[in-house]
Amino acid sequence: MKFRILALMVLTYMMLTAQAYANWNSCYGNLWVTSNSTDIITEHNNRVTVYLPLKVQVSDQLLNCADEIWVEDVYYYSMVFEGPTQDKYAKLYDAQFKKIKVRNGIWKSPLNERTTQMWVRLRHYSLFPAGEYNGAIRVSIVKNNQIVEEQYFDMTYYSEPQVAITLDNNSKGKVAGSHGHYQVNLGELQSNMRFYWGVKILSNSSYDIVLDSEFNGLRHETNTGALINYSVSFDNVKMSSSEQIYRSYNFYPGVKNKWYGFEFILGNVELMPAGYYRDNLSLTVYPR
């Protein structure tokens, strides 16, 4: 009699285990992970912040049975993007740009909707050095701390070559303008008069510089035949207003903020017609 009771209990346990497995095995469906580069958000404050979109979509079957989304790096304990000069450590944010908590290298978010928007944040103290930043993550759909569906996903951020030109602090009082457009008022023109100013060029890649004059000198506002020559010294290279300077600057991938000085020397103004003279001196930077 005891043997029969024991056998009945074992049989009942096996039936319960099989039923639990059947319920567990019924949690299935489709998972899609995408990242649209056109939705990338870039912010320029004291540092550069980039938000890469990470969209997780599930079918109705998964939504109805699973309860969490897990995100983790494939190769590292933290979320790492390998870049051209250094690795960048990323953080994961929700749709409202609130930080998602990470435990034991796993970011966990509730699965409440078919589509869950997340953001992967990358930061750099200045411009990101030009080039590709690559990361590899695993996105898992989880039920009761058990993975029921997963997808490996490669993420890439490409930092475009960029330059920014600003006046140096010593020039701001005597040169007007901003964002690369500046005006120098020489006042009353005198032969051989000199004027000095400087700019800073911030770049995340190597670049070329071309310096030239639109009118080949200071041209009279109404009497276009009246032209006053001048010369400019730039980065220890001197040119006449009728010439052009071409300079190439190469450096290892990274970010440089370099100062360049100008020295303006006016030519002979004796017997030149009275009036206003002007020229457009262009400093063009081509990142590469």
pLDDT tens-digit series, residues 144-154: 999 999 999 99
193 and 120 part of one domain:
no
pTM above 0.85, yes or no: no
Q: Note the pLDDT tens digit of each residue in 261-286.
A: 999 999 999 989 999 999 999 999 99
Segment 113-125 mean pLDDT = 96
Residue 105 is part of a domain; what is its CATH number? 2.60.40.3590
Q: Note the pLDDT tens digit of each residue in 1-42.
A: 443 443 333 333 333 333 333 344 578 899 999 999 999 999
Provide the number of structural domains found in the chain.
2
48 and 90 part of one domain:
yes
The H-or-E segment that residue 4 falls in is helix 2-25
33 and 148 part of one domain:
yes
Percent of the chain with pLDDT over 70: 91
163: left (phi over 0), alpha (psi -120 to 50) or beta: beta
Q: Which of 198, 204, 199, 182 lies closest to 249, judged by CA?
A: 204
The residue among 109, 128, 159 that closes a domain is 159
pLDDT greater at residue 253 or residue 79: 79
d(CA 195, CA 237): 16
152 and 171 part of one domain:
no
Q: What is the reported pLDDT for 10? A: 36
126 and 176 part of one domain:
no
DSSP for residue 188: S
167 and 155 part of one domain:
no
DSSP for residue 170: G
Q: Which of 70, 118, 121, 120 lies closest to 94, judged by CA?
A: 118
The residue among 159, 192, 215 that closes a domain is 159
Q: Note the pLDDT tens digit of each residue in 149-198.
A: 999 999 999 999 999 888 888 888 788 877 778 888 888 999 999 999 99
DSSP for residue 182: E
The residue among 140, 159, 178 that closes a domain is 159
Range of the domain at 238: 163-287
148 and 260 part of one domain:
no
Q: What is the reported pLDDT for 25? A: 56
Strand partners, 280: none
